[in-house]
Structure 1
Amino acid sequence: MKSFHQPVLLAEVIKHLIYDIHGTYVDSTFGGGGHARSILKEISNKGKLIAFDQDQFSIIKNKICDKRIILFNANFSKIKRILKASKKQVKVSGILADLGVSSYQINTPQRGFSIRFNNILDMRMDLSKTKSALNIIKTYSFENLNNLFYKYGDFKKPQIISRKILLNRKFINTTFDLVKLFNNNINFLSRLFQALRIEVNDEINALKKLLKQARTLLKKGGRLAIISYHSLEDRLVKNFFKTGNIHGIIRSDNQGNNLSTFHKRYTKRIFPTKQEIYTNPRAKSAILRITQKI
């Protein structure tokens, strides 16, 4: 079967995430099931894997027939609520999140994620949602466009981009329309598409919700592994691991000890090898951070 998605930093994730073979683990971004299948190989028959993915096609195309896995078609921001509703509210041994867009989504033209294919600007990971990239282009105000391009694309002068979109928005419908309008280099266009995608899928707020839920879902000694692909995500994860809160504020007790939920000494930052980047270019910008609950 053709690979739906090549998992990034697979060996490193398994090495550091799995420490209790009888434990319950959460794969919050199931995707092509690559990480999930490897986790199932490592855990015992008593172990469990609870997986989530908001893209229904991931569920349909990559379903794993194994009694140890439970798969939910939902965004990872809803993990705690779904587990409670399904009466599977347990303390878990580890949580994994591989952030960003999957290879399948990028390589499927009609999903509108890639500058390589000409199709309607969509970029929804969950097709049941109404907001698409085209909706943003057609309806957002100058101020709202400025805000998203500055925050999510790291553009220093977003007003230039926003003004150009406003002047030409009635002519923009497809990915190539946007590419043609700016006619810039790959780096510029990648950041532009990234900013729209993050806004469409509310990715930063979803990540914040996942991180906050991880504090209570993980049991003592439990591990949290996050793979991010751009500085905005990575900075949020790094500060959360350091401080135990999404605001990145260090809170201390009367003796000056950091009150973070996570073990400072265990926290690791791992990059893909040159060999992995060669075989899977998507891994180039990946950063894996792993921490352990105290």
Structure 2
Amino acid sequence: MQEHEAPHRPVMVRQVVELLGPRPGGVYVDATVGAGGHARALLEREPSVRIVGLDRDPEALAVAARRLEAWRDRVVLLRADFSELEAKLRDLGLQRVDGILFDLGVSSLQLDTPGRGFTYQVDEAPLDMRMDPALPLTAADLLNRLPKERLARIFREYGEERWASRIAAFVVEARRRQPLERAGDLVACIKAAVPAAARRTGGHPARRVFQALRIAVNDELGQLERALPQAMRALREGGRLVVISFHSLEDRRVKEALRRAQSAGEPVPMRVLTRKPLTPDAAEAARNPRARSARLRAAERLAGPDRAASTKGVR
């Protein structure tokens, strides 16, 4: 993939940089580095910082490496899930870092490459949806193998899809005739299942089902729940965590994790910096429609013990 093939507009860059407040010589982790837009903004603000960029997508890492070439001596890019954060920092000999960013969800690089299978706009796109091409199961595998009840639960829980059971039934009926392999196959099932009146409101009728399958294929919510405590533990005192989410399922988990850290000090004491999530301003939303649903939350680590570490081995 060439860089010009995938225009990249990092979301809420100004807010991210201001909240992380890169300081000279600091170490910052972009746990979802993608095309490197946020990492580049941090380096442009303070060129002496060190960046650790994680991403499960090798194509994204290749783009990030090109875009961050000018700072290559200060950037380490690793192919990893963000739930491997603590292990990767240990491998680098890093005990604590100054800031961590999560920019969740699917990237523009992935959406704009039909062959990756994330889009419902291209009928011939394969039903893949793997952020890491090494993952064993694709969206097509789930659609063609799972029982109707399991599919309905995925559509309902991960897509908040009102017509989940009906869509699952249409998928099972369609796959009896032939396997669902392309985006157009699934879109046709969805359009047939959803009543015409419901299709006229709420955007594209396939949006929620495609989101649900993507989350299931990549275990996105499980990854997030495992990664957030690791990120908080990895921060030095005064270090900051910034998380950008794009739908309510992610945002609720981030909000709850920060609430526990602030109220109960679990896994470490944190101070929430965003009473309500920040959102893109009107100019950014107009310039980059994909930013419209973004919600940013941030918190700062306070002095205090790492409860998970301090109670290790205690029963």
Same fold (TM over 0.5): yes
Gap regions ≥5 residues in structure 2: 303-315
- Tell me the alpha carbon deviations over residues 145-165 of structure 1, each in whole angstroms, 9 at most, x when there is no partner: 122111101124522121111
Equivalent of residue 160 in structure 1, options 166, 187, 200: 166
* Separation in 2, partners of 1:259, 1:146: 34
Residue in structure 2 matched with residue 24 of structure 1 by the alignment:
27
Q: Give matches, 1:45-124, under 5 Å.
A: 45=48, 47-63=49-65, 64-65=68-69, 66=71, 67-84=73-90, 86-117=91-122, 118-124=124-130
1:215–1:71 CA distance, 2 compared to 1 (3 A): same
**Mapped contact 2:111–2:119 kept (Cα < 8 A):** yes
Q: Which amino acid aligns with 2:109?
A: Y
> What root-mean-square deviation, in Å, do the aligned CA atoms of Structure 1 and Structure 2 show?
2.0
Moved more, 97-106 or 61-70: 61-70
* Separation in 1, partners of 2:89, 2:273: 30
Instruction: Name the % identity.
Output: 35
Alpha-carbon shift at residue 17 of structure 1 (Å): 1.0
Residue in structure 2 matched with residue 255 of structure 1 by the alignment:
none
Equivalent of residue 197 in structure 1, options 190, 194, 214: 214
Moved more, 186-195 or 220-229: 186-195
Gap regions ≥5 residues in structure 1: 253-257
Equivalent of residue 271 in structure 1, options 276, 279, 282: 279
Residue in structure 1 matched with residue 254 of structure 2 by the alignment:
237
* Separation in 1, partners of 2:222, 2:35: 23
**Mapped contact 1:4–1:32 kept (Cα < 8 A):** no
1:130–1:267 CA distance, 2 compared to 1 (3 A): same
Q: Which amino acid aligns with 2:180?
A: I
Residue in structure 2 matched with residue 176 of structure 1 by the alignment:
184
**Mapped contact 1:267–1:291 kept (Cα < 8 A):** no
**Mapped contact 1:267–1:292 kept (Cα < 8 A):** no
**Mapped contact 1:80–1:89 kept (Cα < 8 A):** no
**Mapped contact 2:27–2:50 kept (Cα < 8 A):** yes
Q: Which amino acid aligns with 1:57?
A: E
* Separation in 2, partners of 1:143, 1:181: 16
* Separation in 2, partners of 1:237, 1:207: 8
Alpha-carbon shift at residue 192 of structure 1 (Å): 0.7
Equivalent of residue 133 in structure 1, options 126, 129, 139: 139
Alpha-carbon shift at residue 21 of structure 1 (Å): 2.9
**Mapped contact 1:80–1:217 kept (Cα < 8 A):** yes
Residue in structure 2 matched with residue 143 of structure 1 by the alignment:
149
Q: Give the TM-score, by structure 2 length.
A: 0.84
User: How many residues of Structure 1 are paired with residues of Structure 2 in the alignment?
Assistant: 283
Q: Give the TM-score, by structure 1 length.
A: 0.90
